[in-house]
Amino acid sequence: MASRPLYIPVILGTARKGRMSAHVARLLTREVSQHPGVETELIDICSLPLPTNDAGEAIKDSGFSSQMDRADGLVIVAPEYNHGYSGLLKHALDSCLKEYIHKAVGIVGVSAGPFGGTRVIENLLSVMRELGLVTIFWDVNFSSVQNAFDRDGKLIDSAYIRRIDKFIKELVWMSRTLRHGRAKISI
């Protein structure tokens, strides 16, 4: 088990048209993939085949469930929706439960305003705890996201890379530690 790379997917938590958070999610996926011993992929919630006429595990998609079961940690890229998060992100996250227990999660807040998704992060923390995920100590906040990337989605402000690196290092450490605990310590 120790030789298996960590699997830390990035979840893009919005389906809005013109979503600037897609640039953020692609950037995070690239940065996570550069860490040795880590595999990742981008999971776009708008491509998940989840029905909206029911909720919770009743709508579980086997592909998404398998990804969450395999995951050692998660990155959630969440734009701020009027101080909250998207209903579709909550809908998707709630479709799994046991898959998340004792796994690390880092939250990346995205906002067109000056606070960089701080309020979406605050609102997601209690949800992460309820799902059994363990939040890391660092967040990444993309404020005025429309000014952080050029038209082609290339990052303009390189200061974000240092913040992302600190965030990923903490997420990798927590993911590795929790994987060891899940494998070696029974409850």
What per-residue confidence (pLDDT) applies to 44? 97
The dihedral through the CA atoms of 106, 52, 56, 123 has a sign that is positive
pLDDT band at 115 (very low <50, low <70, confident <90, very high): confident
What is the pLDDT confidence band of residue 186, given thresholds at 50, 70 and 90?
confident
pTM over 0.75: yes
pLDDT at 55: 87
Q: Please, what is the average pLDDT of the chain?
A: 94
pLDDT at site 1: 47
Number of Cα atoms under 13 Å in the Cβ half of residue 157: 14
Condensed to tens digits (0 to 9), the pLDDT of residues 22-69 reads 999 999 999 999 999 999 999 999 999 999 898 888 999 999 999 999
Backbone angles phi, psi at 44, to 5 degrees: -95, 115
**Token output for 9:** 């997917």
Domains in the chain (CATH in brackets) are: 6-182 (3.40.50.360)
Q: Express each pLDDT in 4-20 by its tens digit.
A: 999 999 999 999 888 99
Distance CA 158, CA 6 (A): 26
Asked whether the predicted pLDDT for residue 136 surpasses 90, the reply is yes
pLDDT at position 116 is: 84
